[in-house]
Structure formats: C-alpha cells, structure tokens
Amino acid sequence: MKLMVIGCGGVATVAIHKCYENPVFTEILVASRTKSKCDALAEKLRSRTKAVITTATVNADRVESLTELMNKFKPHTVLNVALPYQDLTIMDACLECGANYVDTANYEAENTDDPEWRAIYEKRCKEKGFTALFDYSWQWAYQDKFKAAGLTALLGTGFDPGVTSVYTAYALKHYFDEIHYIDILDCNGGDHGYPFATNFNPEINLREVSSNGSYWEEGHWVETKPMEIKREYDFDGVGMKDMYLLHHEEIESLAKNIPNVKRIRFFMTFGQSYLTHMNCLQNVGMLGTAPVQFEGREIVPIKFLKALLPDPASLGPRTVGKTNIGCIFRGIKDGKERNIYIYNVCDHQECYKETGAQAVSYTTGVPAMIGTSMIASGTWSGAGVFNVEEFDPDPYMEALNKYGLPWQVNENPVLVD
C-alpha cells in the first residue's frame, strides 16, 4: 500500500520509523518543506525496511503543490504530520486526488487576525461557548465531500487526541454500560535540562497552554482562565505533579460521540519554571501571532521566539524521565458504579534510543502510524470524516501493545476531585 507522509519533524520521524516496522506499508513517500530532512531520515532508515522509500519537497499550504505530487505518486492514504495550519489544504488535495486522509491535530488558522477567519471564529465562540483557536467544525464540514468521494478522513490519531479517545471507546466497550465522567491526565515527567523549551512545536504548544481552559459539563462548555484550575496527582512511574485544566480538542469529539457523558476534563502537568517563563513571554508580547514592524521589516513574535528556543527535535538526547498519559473513567456497569484508569507510561531515553526522538514525539508518532495502518489495511473503513473513537478500539489497542505503547488498566484508581 502506498503511503504519503507530509511533514518531517519530531512526530513524523517516529511515525515513519514505525511505518517501516509495519509490512502493510510497501511504498512510502516522505514529503515536507525541507527535503534535506526527509533525505537524511530516509537514508538512516533505508537498510531497516523492505518498503520502497522516496522523498520530495512540498508546500502543504498550497493545494496545487500537493496535488502535483499526489497525482504522480498516487497514494492510497496521506498521513498529515505537518502542522494543523495545513489540515484543510491537505484534505482538499486528498479529495481531488482520491486519497484517504489521516492527521493528529485539528485545524488551526495560522493568521488569527484574518478578518474572514475571525468573523467565523467569533460566531462559533458565541454559539458553542469556548474560545480556543482550534475546533473540529472546519474539518467536520468535510463530511459530505468525503462521503461522496467514498474516502475516509481519520482525525486526531496522536496520543491526545488519539489514544485517549480509543481508551474511551475501549472502556465503553469492555468496562461500562455508561461512562459519566472522563478525566484525561497528561503528565510529562521529563527533564531536558534547559531553563525553557517546548516538547513539540513551540507555536502550537504555547498557544494551547496560554489560552483559556474549558471543560464539558451537562451538555455545555464551562470556560476557565488559563491555569485557573490546579490539582495534584501521584502518577505511576513519575510521582507527584501539579496539573492544570486545559481546553483540549478531544473533549469536543468525545462530547459528541460518547452518549450519556456528564463531564469531560483535561489536565496537563507543568512545572513552576515553565509557567513563569510562559507568563513572562506572554506579558511582553512574545506569544503574539500578528506581524509587528521591527527595524523596517515585519516579524511575527511567536515565530521569532520559535527561532530562539531549542528545536524540540534536539531534546531527545538530553531528556530523561517518563511520561504517563491516560484517562480516568467513572460510570455504571450492571447498575453498579465503577471507576477505571487506563494509561501508558513511556520512558524518554528508551524512545530516544529506538527512534532518535523523545517521548512526546514518540507517544504521538506511534499512534499516528497505527491509525494510518487501520485505514491502510481496511481494518477501519467507511466513507466520511471520523474521529478515532467512532471505530472498534480492539485492533488499535492490540497494536499499541505491539508497537511500543503498552497500556495498563487500574480498576481502583485515585480520583481527581
């Protein structure tokens, strides 16, 4: 089966490593903005696989650049591990060229000051009640087009969203008649030794963390100030950490797809030093996305900041410690209350030894490959736009154990108040 991977950053590096281990992928084209990165990765991996690997330059912001390449390569499926800014152009190109589409993050506009985008965004904030700059409406709007074309678009197959959503489908299938409360806990106990760095793309990461939090309760969104809700949790493999409630994209799709759910929250751990740096950068305007004039030229503050910060891909060799990501579910089985916690613990150094990337890229890249393989092998199929929790979770859960993200179930977890 022919796979085209778009992007060659941290997540792509892991996803491509893992594609090489899966015989369903027989031909892989790695295409990104900087071809030299694709060439270097292909060179490194060529001896490890029977799959035929080629590389190309592509500008994924332009549909024509994508279709030109797709018409030559004729991929069965396209895995988008570039940035969320490119989701819609890549979906358009897939429709034009008859390819299935897979990604790990929902659409986000690159220029949030664009008046046309802002008008739609402000209407959505009023109607839906949350102010995050990203949401699923843009991609769910492609439902009819993918249906009519007989193609599958699989949205959000990273860890969160992705594995956390599959954990939810699995819990509902095997442990509950109804799930009422979902707490998604994302803990990174890794230490890279820098005073400040982000574990994945700084623009995407800092925007997410500096925005208002929100959670889903009794059929509507409740919005909080950034970092307003804090809890402590003792994570297996990591220990006690502070965690903060954030808005996160899988809350939106789980609220739609999990019947009877009463509340969904998402917490992520942050150290005090990270938060102090981030607040300072925000206060001085360094997280801005609108261009400013500097010495006769335009610069975008957050892009300039990205150039100064360590490249997330370079954190691998320095990062030690573990991640622990999972979901605590509370609900009903056979009329009785039940609580379970499904989670994965991943070691940064082990990920680095295997793939040259740290655990944040690893925990996203492995499920990116698994979701793609579900579509490539026909294990998951259907025409239209889907989130991962809409399919049978069992083959995906098996693949997580096989490809490096084994999970555990704790049937008596400590709950989050």
Binding positions for ligand NDP, rule: CB under 6 A: 7-12, 32-34, 37, 58-61, 81-84, 86, 104-105, 158-162, 200-201, 204, 312-313, 364
Q: Which residue is nearest to ligand NDP (CB)?
A: 9
Question: What is the SS3 assignment for 206?
Answer: helix
Nearest approach, Cβ of residue 34 and ligand NDP (Å): 4
Q: Which is nearer to ligand NDP, 90 or 149 (CB)?
A: 90
What is d(CA 186, CA 199) in angstroms, rounded to the nearest whole number?
Answer: 13
Least distance in Å: CB of 405 to ligand NDP? 12
Give min distance, CB of 228 to ligand NDP, in A: 23
Q: What angle do CA 322, 327, 329 make, to 5 degrees?
A: 150
Provide, rounded to whole angstroms, the least separation between the CB of residue 205 and ligand NDP: 8
As measured in angstroms, the least distance from the Cβ of 338 to ligand NDP is 27
Contact 107, 84 (CB under 8 A): yes
In angstroms, rounded to a whole number, what is the distance separating the alpha carbons of residues 108 and 213?
17
Give the nearer residue to ligand NDP in terms of CB position, either 238 or 368.
368
Based on CB atoms, which residue is closest to ligand NDP, 189 or 331?
A: 189
Pick 105 or 149: Cβ nearer ligand NDP: 105
**In the complex, least distance from residue 201 CB atom to ligand NDP, rounded to whole angstroms:** 4
* Cβ-based nearer residue to ligand NDP, 289 or 339: 289
DSSP code at position 77: E
CA-to-CA distance for 355 and 349, rounded, in angstroms?
10
Q: CB of 75 within 8 A of CB of 46? A: no
Q: With the CA atoms of 254, 256, 260 and 265 taken in that order, what torsion angle do they form, in degrees rounded to the nearest 10?
A: 40
Nearer to ligand NDP, 186 or 347 (CB): 186
Nearer to ligand NDP, 8 or 149 (CB): 8
Report which secondary-structure segment, H or E, holds 342: strand 336-347
* Minimum distance, C-beta of residue 65 to ligand NDP, in the bound complex (Å): 8
In the chain, the N- to C-terminal Cα span, in Å, equals 47
Instruction: Indicate the residue among 311 and 398 with the shorter CB distance to ligand NDP.
Output: 311
Scored b (16 or more CB within 10 A) or e, 43-77 reads eebeeebebebebbebebeebebbbebbeebebbb
User: Can you tell me the distance from the alpha carbon of 214 to that of 105, in angstroms, rounded to the nearest whole number?
Assistant: 18
SS3 label, residue 270: coil
Name which of 60 and 78 has its Cβ closer to ligand NDP: 60
Least CB distance to ligand NDP at residue 112 (A): 16
Region class of 382: left (phi > 0), else alpha (psi between -120 and 50), else beta: left
CB of 300 to ligand NDP, least distance (A): 14
Strands 27-32 and 2-6, by their bridges, are parallel
Q: Which is nearer to ligand NDP, 69 or 149 (CB)?
A: 69
Q: Which burial class, exposed, middle or buried, applies to 234 when counting CB atoms under 10 A from its CB (0-12, 13-18, 19+)?
A: exposed
In which order are the strands placed within the sheet that holds 384-387? 52-57, 27-32, 2-6, 77-80, 100-103, 152-155, 384-387
Is 160 strand, coil or helix? Answer: coil
Q: Whole-number minimum distance, CB 255 to ligand NDP, in Å?
A: 17
Residue with tokens 């591990």: 81
